[in-house]
Each structure stands twice: as structure tokens, then as C-alpha cells.
Amino acid sequence: MVSFSKTDIFKSWNVGFVLDEGLANPGHEFLVFNGERSIRTLFIHFKGNAGHGSRFIKNSVGEKVTKFLQTVYEYRRQQELNLEAGGSCISLGEVSTCNLTGAHGGIAYNVVPAEFELTVDFRLATDVEISDFEAMLDDWVKQSGDDVCWRYRTPNAVLKEHSKSELNADTNPFWRSFISACDKLEIETKVRIFPAAADSRHLRHMGYDCIGFSPINNTPVLLHDHDEFLNKDVYLRGIEIYEEIIKSLSSC
């Protein structure tokens, strides 16, 4: 999307409003996403003393990795508690998540390695200041021991700010048309922050208003899970909903 948005073809379209993907909802409402959490995929690099696995190696990477992961998972636990405490008033997109997604290191089963690297996937809530998050990471690696550092997996692709579109029916004719179509269809919508990531995050930073919307209700969220499914009636109803919404947006 970043590359395509710079082409003459894209510029010639004179885009006024972007309709991107959304998520299923187990309830009867249809979810509309006007923003996204910020993706921060990190490499955490550890250096320490090497030696034979039969010895008590001081200042090893294993000790430092353990300290860092304890901090990460305590942060994760607090965010999960915040989500549970919020009940129906908040959604996953309104808290931050972090998960260990990779671990790399070691040269032999009986050798303590001199270096080790973790991959951690962070998704930051829109109320988290990026500078505060990076300062927190600096503190975490400092607490883990010497010769520990972090870096972004793709530093040139990291957006510096959160991605969010302000939706106001009084000032935004496209949003007004979207809501009007939903009213005509007699469907109830709920605006949320997208918990994952979509192409619209790049377009929002270019100044385009974007919403994520998939007409899928009464369906469990099985994103990339086993046996993900869509009931045929929900699917066919979704086609009718798209027809009305796209027709309404196109008439602006």
C-alpha cells in the first residue's frame, strides 16, 4: 500500500474516503474501526558470558532473557487486567498487548551462548505516547543487565504516530453517508479501535479518512484460527449491506 499510494494511478483516483477491512463480532452489532493500535515489532539482543553447560556461568544471556521476559509478561498481565476490568465499555483495541513471537540463539545443546535474541510483538493503544513507550523499553533493557539492547524489526516502516480518523457526521459527508446507509438498513454499529493492522494505517497518515468495516455479526472472532467460518446467511446479508453502503458513499 505504501508503494502503491505513491503511484500516478493512485493519485489519479482522487480518493475521498477509504473503506478497509474490519472484524467479525459475536454480538448483533456491526463493528466499525476508525483507528488502529500502533505496531511495534522488536528485536531484543542479549550478550553475556559463554561457557560449558555444566558450569554456573555468571552474567549469562539466560539470566538476562529471564529478567526481561518477567518484565514483559508483568506488563502484559496488567494490560489484560485492564481489559477485564473495563468489561463491555472497552475492547481489545483500547489496551496494549505484547507477545513473545521468536527466540534465536545457541550453538550447541551443552554450550551457554554468548548471544541471544528475542522477537516481541507489541500493539500499543492509541493513548500510549510513543516516546513514553520507547523510554520504558530503555528502562526494561537496562534492568535486564549490561549488553542488552532493542531495535525495531523494520525501523524505516515504523509510523511515528498512532493511526486514527476523527468521525463527525456534521463535518464529514462520507461518514454521514455511511451512517445514513446503516440507518436505512436498520443495522446497529459500534465504533472501535482496530486491534490488529490494516492498510488504512498508512493512508490515514497521508491525510485520508478511513474506516474498517466487514459486515459480519453474530460470528465468533476466529482470525487466522482453526476452523474459521462464516455462516451463509451472514455472508449473503453482507453483500446487501455492502451494496447499500457503497452506493451511499459513491453519491457524496
For the stretch 74-96, pLDDT in tens is 999 999 999 999 988 889 999 99
Vertex 120, ends 118 and 122: CA angle to 5°?
A: 165
65 and 100 co-located in one domain: yes
Residue 223, pLDDT score: 84
21 and 49 co-located in one domain: no
Check: CB of residue 201 under 8 Å from CB of residue 36: yes
25 and 43 co-located in one domain: no
216 and 126 co-located in one domain: no
- Helix (H) and strand (E) counts for the chain? 6, 11
Distant-in-sequence contacts of 57-60, Cβ < 8 A, 24+ apart: 57/112, 59/145, 59/146, 60/112
63 and 47 co-located in one domain: yes
Residue that is last in its domain, among 157, 186, 202:
157
Grid cell locating 193: 479501535
pLDDT tens by residue, 87-145: 888 899 999 999 999 999 999 999 999 999 999 999 999 999 999 999 999 999 999 99
45 and 14 co-located in one domain: no
Mean pLDDT of the chain: 94
Separation between Cα atoms, residue 79 and residue 23, nearest integer Å: 21
192 and 127 co-located in one domain: no
Residue that is last in its domain, among 99, 130, 157:
157
Task: Write the burial class of residue 63 (CB in 10 Å: 0-12 exposed, 13-18 middle, 19+ buried).
Answer: middle
Residue ranges making up the domain that contains 104: 38-157
Residue 87, pLDDT score: 86
Query: How many other C-beta atoms are found inside a 10 Å radius of the C-beta of residue 98?
Result: 17
Looking at the structure of the chain, the number of domains it has is 2
pLDDT tens by residue, 151-177: 999 876 666 777 788 888 899 999 999
153 and 44 co-located in one domain: yes
**Does the pLDDT of residue 208 top 80, yes or no?**
yes
76 and 51 co-located in one domain: yes
Nearest to 22 by CA among 243, 199, 213, 163: 213
Compute the CA torsion angle 205, 130, 97, 154 (nearest 10 deg). Answer: 70
54 and 73 co-located in one domain: yes
49 and 117 co-located in one domain: yes
Name residues whose C-beta falls within 8 Å of residue 75's C-beta, 6 or more positions apart in sequence.
96, 98
Mean pLDDT for the stretch of residues 218-246? 95
Residue 245, pLDDT score: 97
